[in-house]
Amino acid sequence: MPADRIDAQVAVIGAGQAGLSVAYYLRRLGLEPGVDQIILDRGPSTGGAWQFRWESLRLGVAHRVADLPGMQEVGVSFDTADRSLPARQVVEEYYRRYEEHYDMRVVRPASVFRVENEGEALVVRYTAGESEHSLVARTIVNATGTWGSPFVPWYPGLDRFKGRMLHTAQYRSADALRGLDVVVVGGGTSAIGFVMELEEVAASVTWVSRRPVEWLHEQENLDTETAIAAVAAQEEAAREGRALPSIVSGTGVPLTRRMQAAIDRGALIRHPMFTSVEEHGVRFADGRFQRADVIIWATGFRPELRHLAPLRLREKAGGVTVTRSTSLKDPRVFFAGYGPTASTIGANRAGRTIAREVIAQLSRK
């Protein structure tokens, strides 16, 4: 690839917490957005995946949402945000102000469908509206999150189910499920939130999960040992190129007062996972049948990496090998918000590390 075809030093794919954090630190190290670094995002608006989350979700219900680096200078903070507003609205607005303040010049909607290796450079192919475009960069930062890759586990009979199936990514409001028999699958905060908001609305709500929920009684627990252990498990998997373990199964769920009250009144009773799905419901190991018009799969997400397939980074073990947020197979490719950095605080940490690594990589040319 001739040097005059290089459009940017870095292409950042995704403008959620991870992409914006990288962009912020790159900018501090002298890479100007829109010139040296070009940020592409598929979403129609600011806010990363938060712009698509359901209406009733509020900030800080169970987990803290960390501010983006340099957010103080913008004059906003998630810690003092209005909790009566939908999280998606707050995040959309704060990210918008952030992007404007730091002149991030995010190209959107720009959906990357392929990244190709062309000698010294990487060619990022994307669609914007009806047309296809390409961007040639020396390095790429993949910050595409997981929202676009919902995960639904397979159970016998799943293909015969005649009702509706929804994943967390498609859930909009409890009201849409008024008067229906609903089965909620999952052991994390999202599943628990759905069960609680469906209590008054649905005809019946049955909550199942593969493992019992580990309730954390003090916020402190999540912030220290358990969180460290969960992140370490993610880090190890990424280092070894394995598929990433679920964060929830590693951290447990902080027990809020609302959850405790729901447990006390018998509205939050977890059942072991069903063993098969039938046309109109689910069947448990003991033979019991539960009718279901709707099954909600709050069963997590996988990293969204399809567009990187031409780079052949995926290992036989199912993941990509990533150390210090850098691909082992191709050191021009960086992963932000991946594995151990898939939280708002982790994304911030990745931003700082990746920006330095990108500069080091560029100076090797």
Collapsing DSSP states into helix, strand and coil, what is residue 318? Answer: strand
Looking only at the bridges linking them, the beta strands covering 289-291 and 281-283 are antiparallel
Choice between 147 and 161, CB closer to ligand FAD:
147
We find the least distance from the C-beta atom of residue 65 to ligand FAD, in angstroms, to be 4
What one-character-per-residue DSSP string does 100-165 give? Answer: HHTT---B-S-EEEEEEEETTEEEEEEEETTEEEEEEEEEEEE---STTSB-----TTGGG--SEE
Cβ closer to ligand FAD: 78 or 274? 78
Q: How far is the CB of 304 from ligand FAD (least distance, A)?
A: 5
Compute CA distances 64 → 5, 160, 201, 236, whole Å: 43, 40, 28, 24
Interatomic CA distance for residues 59 and 20, integer angstroms:
19
Please identify, using beta-carbon distances, which residue of 19 and 281 lies nearer to ligand FAD: 19
Write down the least CB distance from residue 169 to ligand FAD, Å.
8
The residue among 49 and 268 lying less far from ligand FAD, judged by its C-beta, is 49
Identify whether the C-beta of residue 185 lies closer than 8 Å to the C-beta of residue 295: yes
CB of 340 to ligand FAD, least distance (A): 12
Nearer to ligand FAD, 65 or 231 (CB): 65
H-helix or E-strand spanning residue 166: strand 164-167
In the complex with ligand FAD, the residue whose CB is nearer, 16 or 319, is 16
CB of 293 to ligand FAD, least distance (A): 23
Residues that bind ligand FAD (CB under 6 A): 13-19, 40-43, 48-49, 53, 63, 65, 110-112, 143-145, 147-148, 190, 304, 307, 337, 343-345, 347
Residue 114 burial (C-beta neighbours within 10 Å; 0-12, 13-18, 19+)? middle
**Encoding tokens for residue 258?**
């609302």
User: CB 338 → ligand FAD: shortest distance, Å?
Assistant: 8
